[in-house]
Structure 1
Amino acid sequence: MTMTLGATVVLRHGPTTDPDAERVLRAALTAAGVEIGAAGPTIWLGGSDEALARLGAEPARGLPAEGYVVAIGPGDIVLHGADPRGTFYAAQTFAQLVDGNELPELELRDAPALRYRGSIEGFYGTPWSHADRLDHLDYLGAHRLNTFQYAPKDDPYHRELWRDPYPAAKLAELAELIERAARNKVDFTFALSPGLSVRYDDDADHQALIAKFDALYAVGARVFNVPLDDIDYGADGGAAGRQQAALLNRIQREWVAAKPGVAPLQMVPTEYYDALETPYKQALREHLDPAVVVHWTGTAVIPERITAEQAAEAKAVFGHDILIWDNFPVNDYVPGRLLLGAYSGREPGVADHIVGVISNPMNQARTSKLALHSFADYGWSPATYDEQASWLRAIAELAAGDADIIAALMLFADLNTYDGTLHHTQSPVLAAEIANFWSAGAGPDAAAALRGVFEAIEQTPAVLRGTPIAAETASWLDATELWGRALQRALDLLEQVASGNDAADGTRAELTELVARATAIRDHTTPHSETYPRIADGVADLFVIEAGRAHDRARGLPTVRTASSSQPAAGRHAVNHILDGDPATFFSTSSPPAIDDEIRVDLGAEYDVATVTLLMAEPTSPDDYIHSGVLEISHDTVSWAEITRATTPDVQVVVGAKARYVRYRALAANAERWLVVRTFDIRTG
């Protein structure tokens, strides 16, 4: 059953309404061509027990905070929140339900599972602009996300200069953000990170911290956080925990508790991940005020999974309410990458043991909305969260429902899937298309099908340059267009080599130039200015390399070996260093290897492999190696034969078998140590 709104409606206010809910409602009515007048259905904004009784619906008073009821029937529309924020969400739901001038007749009762839902601008590198943050707060409010934490690592007044007051202009910007947050029912959380230099028992430092909080309180902030992450607390973790607890207890008891309207203090522990018992965690559990909320990232800085069991262990070991600071889709640790995969690996039962989950997003604010949409879905109802369906809804919303933009966004996301944490496979759709091409014999029909895929890659940037993400992803869009063209020229090269076409040399030169241009691009933001945009790396570039090898073979030239890794390189320590024969250079990852992470060498053709020497770690990081690994060989990357297993940084073995590919694969995750590879020497007969 549906009801028609008509040309006018009557608006009545109930006890839980406020101007923000009315603003959302009026905007929805205007979009539907409806005016507020003296005739038509009555909208009870903020509740009406009488109208709910007529509709046979229960009021929202029994629901948890932020819960709401939407009841729609003949003559009455009731938008009732358990509190004003709930009514605000009811008005948003009304806006989503309006279809033209009609509404479905229904009763909807809804409430969030988690108290804290939102984001924390907590990354390293170029902070968001003021305009980015204002837009972000609007987005949070529109998606029932109630938390924004201001903690950009590269704001000097947040971290290095934490004692110094904000300049007047910056404080005015923060005040505007706080006001915008309030309009969107978002709690603006001000975080101050003193850990690099704080003297825990120094009264002057305590007063400096309180003075900074007082300044933000004066312009409207009511939630505060003291992050103590990414610092060296010395050799005695227990002593550090007690010192930190003493500082935080004083803030909570002498300042937070004395200030009207201030929420319980939050903190980020120095040991902010894993749930192992340590002297530091014991000290926080035993000495930190019970009201303080503790942030936790999971069992790793960026865990592939967070389970209900792990969350329960974290709550027990810290002895406090746990708020998950989820480091997804943050990309400061993988320069050159956009992380556009689905938000995955978080069990619904986690919600039974935590008070909230917030996203640490990318340096690219608007592009981060793909993930934020899923954080909104998960935070509101983990029990019904469907990661793929949520991701598709986020794509459709960003595309404003345009089918061409949806297709382009999905292709672009496929080219930017890998993060080495939640997603270990880069460009799975493109990789499958290329694999089909090779398995089909690389013939004309297979080439025609693959050419269509490559053409779509080249054309995707033109479609996306008119979208809200265009400006901040411009470098990646430019690189995508060049890689699309390079892939097409690689396909041309393969066809020309197969037919003996003399144009192959010219095509190879064009291909080389296109790749050089794509890898010369640099984004203007740090850390992404340090390297080129990674577009389908390990997939597109390997296809180009294979085309070049085919051309070399046709010219009678020796094949070239290439190295690859399932993990991104840290800074300048590129993976090709493992083949350069220079013991002073090495490859280094930017995160610990997980199960099945690998380092691989493609010999370019099948050879008799005589011996393999793999040298990992280096003097300044002797534990940075795969602590449990297996050496394997293959002729097609589909079937792998085991050669040996090892638990040492140096692996030397006689092989005596034919292979084109050689890899060393992790059989277990490294707890904290990254991976350094100095040499991957493969001797062939």
Structure 2
Amino acid sequence: MRAFRIPAPLLLGFALGLVIILLLRDWSGGTGGEGDTRAAPHDARPHTDESTPVPTLWPPPRVVRDDRGSVAIGRSVAVRTGDATDPATLDTVVRALRAGGAREIRIGDEPRSGELLVVTDGTSADLDAGSPKGLPKGGYVLAVGHADDAPRVVLAGADRTGTFHAAQTFAQLVRPVGTATARTTLPAVRIRDWPATATRGIVEGFYGTPWTHQERLAQLDFAARWKLNTYLYSPKDDPYLRSRWRDPYPESRLTALRALARRATARHVSFVYALSPGPTVCYSSAADRAALLRKFRQLWDIGVRSYAVPLDDIDITRWNCAADGTTYGHGRAAVARAQADLLNDIQRDFLTPRPEATPLITVPTEYDGTRATDYKTTLASTLSPDITVMWTGPLVVSPTLRTDQAREAARRYAHPVLIWDNYPVNDYTPGNLLLGPYEGRDSGVPGAVAGITANPMNQATASVPALFSLAAYAWHPEAYRPTAALDAGLRLLAAGDRRALTALRAFADLNHASRIDTTPAPKLAALIEAYRRGAPNAKAALRNHLTTLATARDTVPPALRTSAAPWLDATHDWARAALAALALQDGTGTTRSQVRALRDTARSHTVTDWQGRTRTVEVGAGVLDAFVARALG
């Protein structure tokens, strides 16, 4: 995969002069894959003497030049469009302008004297923004400033998706992440931006209760807003994907899939339909191959243009039909040949003849690790070179992922590798929410593979912070800071509500631990340790934090109350038990029996996993419970 040289990251806290030097160097210097970055001269003076600060933008753009001025949106705005402006791009721009105070927005008109002109034709190089020509797919330039004594905004993409991405960044200039109100003035700024890897997205591939239709629509909107461009539909509990894969969809289910495909296409997200025939398919059966293609044709007719055939989580020590043993023989290499035959037929007979289709994606049965095996070697040599292979990293759930491991996987499979990262998915640990940031991945990984997708939790809204941080990483890994990205995701959920944000931060800290970072409740643990040491004001700080946790279920955003109800209830009860334990240690009247009763209530919360087993809800395990136990001991 083509790699691009990245400008040095722009680090907060540098002296202003050094920042300006770096930005000017990055703006004027050629960058691998950028094309011509030379800009035509123009009057770049802002139209006011006051400066509107450039907000923190997500995902972090590659190059941001702050021209230290302001441009008022005004009550009337002219918008000039072109072939690069599709309805979703125009809708994003218009919504942002209306939020910023515009009441009259004229599409296609020339600007009146002193009126803001927004140009979205995808080709303009005004405001020294340079041309987007030569940027990778999805790249764009965006500039806000003053040209010919008039205010102007320019959005130009390397393609239509790039212009759409520029519109999403423009919307953040109007309403920064986590703010309750929009700005009526824009910062004078020039941005040049592009993604680190071609495919970035969400794979709904968990076991257990699938997302609802409305949650999927919301996730598609979320993906589009934060420059994720892929949604792989593979919920294990959709029977028509797995156990009943041969059966056509009934009209009611087909209607929902049609809506998802249309929403995704309109928002520049590739909707990938993933059929999983592995548990029952007979690879040598002409009837099974015909059934699979019939299913794909049914999905094609409703607008699906991207397909996957996952062959994961199946038993390959035996064939599903005797004919496969006769045709292919036995052993893992034989299974790889049979799978490659099936996949190659789909690519050759169904996808290649359709110009609108994207190449097939598969999840091999051996989908993790880099060690050479008979299965991997045979699959690499027999699978069509057009087909993309998904890989979970060195392990099924990988605590870390290094660049050299990603490169070795691409070499081992000898095909484009798309990472299926099993974070923040929690179907294997259903008593826990995983609210820590996406981390433990080298910055060079995105450039070493065809793309990165993340498998989220059954709890859609609770998955947002981690997916938000994944979007930031996949777009610009060199500038990625896990803690800052996670906090921005929490601010996104809070939408400007300070009490909600405080509660979200405390709740996320309580549910921080996972296989990629096993640290439990780091902030709460630090507060408890300070209290034990007798640090000044430590008791009050701990009490305030526990009070925040005890009231979190009433102050977090409503969508999260629904998504994470069992964990919020458990948090409420554990925080009450911890507050009682604190009072017990202070000798302020609480009895041990009262603390024990509160602890027992906190332990009573359960959820049912995808296999029907009852699991205890865990929050702050090893921290909250240990604090209560120590008080009782």
Instruction: Using structure 1 for the length normalisation, give the TM-score.
Output: 0.75
1:452 aligns with 2:544: yes
Q: Structure 1's 525 and 232: CA in aligned 2 closer, same or farther, altered over 3 A?
A: closer
CA distance in 2, matches of 1:73, 1:490: 58
Give the Å deviation of 1:440.
Answer: 3.4
Give the Å deviation of 1:446.
Answer: 5.7
Question: 1:44 — aligned with what?
Answer: 119
SS in 2 for 1:273: coil
Question: 1:146 — aligned with what?
Answer: 229
Question: 1:423 — aligned with what?
Answer: 517
Question: Is the CA contact (8 Å cut-off) linking 2:427 and 2:609 kept in structure 1?
Answer: no
Question: 2:97 — aligned with what?
Answer: 29
Question: Is the CA contact (8 Å cut-off) linking 1:458 and 1:481 kept in structure 2?
Answer: yes
| The one of 142, 146, 152 aligned to 1:70 | 142
Q: Structure 1's 240 and 483: CA in aligned 2 closer, same or farther, altered over 3 A?
A: same
CA distance in 2, matches of 1:191, 1:172: 17
Question: 1:56 — aligned with what?
Answer: 128
Give the Å deviation of 1:509.
Answer: 2.5
Question: 1:440 — aligned with what?
Answer: 534
Question: 1:630 — aligned with what?
Answer: none
Identity %: 42
Q: Structure 1's 527 and 134: CA in aligned 2 closer, same or farther, altered over 3 A?
A: farther
Q: Structure 1's 2 and 528: CA in aligned 2 closer, same or farther, altered over 3 A?
A: farther
Give the Å deviation of 1:116.
Answer: 0.8
Question: 2:431 — aligned with what?
Answer: 336
Question: 1:514 — aligned with what?
Answer: 598
Query: Structure 1 counterpart of 2:467, which letter?
Result: L
Which is worse superposed, 514-523 or 367-376? 514-523
Which is worse superposed, 430-439 or 171-180? 430-439
Matches within 5 A, 1:520-599: 520-523=604-607, 526=610, 530-549=614-633
CA distance in 1, matches of 2:461, 2:481: 22
Query: Structure 1 counterpart of 2:194, which letter?
Result: A
Q: Structure 1's 48 and 352: CA in aligned 2 closer, same or farther, altered over 3 A?
A: closer
1:327 aligns with 2:422: yes
- Higher RCO, 1 vs 2 (CA within 8 Å, ≥6 residues apart): 2
Matches within 5 A, 1:219-230: 219-230=302-313
| The one of 276, 281, 288 aligned to 1:193 | 276
In the alignment, structure 1 segments of 5+ residues that lack a partner are 550-685
In the alignment, structure 2 segments of 5+ residues that lack a partner are 1-68, 175-181, 318-329
Give the Å deviation of 1:527.
Answer: 6.3
Question: Is the CA contact (8 Å cut-off) linking 1:4 and 1:103 kept in structure 2?
Answer: yes
**CA deviation digits over 1:415-472, x for unaligned, max 9?**
11122x101121122222222333339xx976555333322321222211x4321111
Q: Paired residues, what number? A: 535
Q: Structure 1's 270 and 333: CA in aligned 2 closer, same or farther, altered over 3 A?
A: same
**CA deviation digits over 1:462-488, x for unaligned, max 9?**
211x43211111111111111111112
Question: Is the CA contact (8 Å cut-off) linking 1:335 and 1:527 kept in structure 2?
Answer: no
**CA deviation digits over 1:35-84, x for unaligned, max 9?**
213522322212344xx2x5333221221111111123323322111111
Question: 1:241 — aligned with what?
Answer: 336
Question: 2:499 — aligned with what?
Answer: 404
Give the Å deviation of 1:125.
Answer: 0.6
Give the Å deviation of 1:158.
Answer: 1.0
The structure having more radius of gyration, on CA atoms, is 1
Question: Is the CA contact (8 Å cut-off) linking 1:241 and 1:281 kept in structure 2?
Answer: yes
1:92 aligns with 2:161: no
Q: Structure 1's 435 and 6: CA in aligned 2 closer, same or farther, altered over 3 A?
A: closer
Which is worse superposed, 210-219 or 431-440? 431-440
Question: 1:489 — aligned with what?
Answer: 580
Question: 2:178 — aligned with what?
Answer: none
Query: Structure 2 counterpart of 1:20, which letter?
Result: A
Query: Structure 2 counterpart of 1:61, which letter?
Result: K
Query: Structure 2 counterpart of 1:261, which letter?
Result: E
CA distance in 2, matches of 1:287, 1:242: 7
Question: 1:606 — aligned with what?
Answer: none
Question: 1:599 — aligned with what?
Answer: none
CA distance in 1, matches of 2:354, 2:82: 30
Question: 1:182 — aligned with what?
Answer: 265
CA distance in 1, matches of 2:546, 2:437: 23
SS in 2 for 1:323: strand
Q: Structure 1's 489 and 65: CA in aligned 2 closer, same or farther, altered over 3 A?
A: same
Give the Å deviation of 1:13.
Answer: 1.5
Question: 1:216 — aligned with what?
Answer: 299
Question: 2:155 — aligned with what?
Answer: 79
CA distance in 2, matches of 1:58, 1:206: 50
Query: Structure 2 counterpart of 1:118, which letter?
Result: G
Question: 2:359 — aligned with what?
Answer: 264
Which is worse superposed, 192-201 or 1-10? 1-10
Question: Is the CA contact (8 Å cut-off) linking 1:458 and 1:484 kept in structure 2?
Answer: yes
**CA deviation digits over 1:11-38, x for unaligned, max 9?**
2122311111111111111111212135
Question: 2:405 — aligned with what?
Answer: 310
Question: Is the CA contact (8 Å cut-off) linking 1:332 and 1:527 kept in structure 2?
Answer: no
CA distance in 1, matches of 2:99, 2:433: 35
Query: Structure 1 counterpart of 2:256, which letter?
Result: E
Question: 1:477 — aligned with what?
Answer: 568
Query: Structure 1 counterpart of 2:604, which letter?
Result: A
**CA deviation digits over 1:524-563, x for unaligned, max 9?**
77469722320111111122222222xxxxxxxxxxxxxx
SS in 2 for 1:295: strand
Question: 1:157 — aligned with what?
Answer: 240
SS in 1 for 2:304: coil
Question: Is the CA contact (8 Å cut-off) linking 1:55 and 1:73 kept in structure 2?
Answer: yes
Question: Is the CA contact (8 Å cut-off) linking 2:370 and 2:412 kept in structure 1?
Answer: yes
Q: Structure 1's 481 and 112: CA in aligned 2 closer, same or farther, altered over 3 A?
A: same
Which is worse superposed, 538-547 or 371-380? 538-547
Give the Å deviation of 1:108.
Answer: 1.6
Q: Structure 1's 41 and 433: CA in aligned 2 closer, same or farther, altered over 3 A?
A: closer
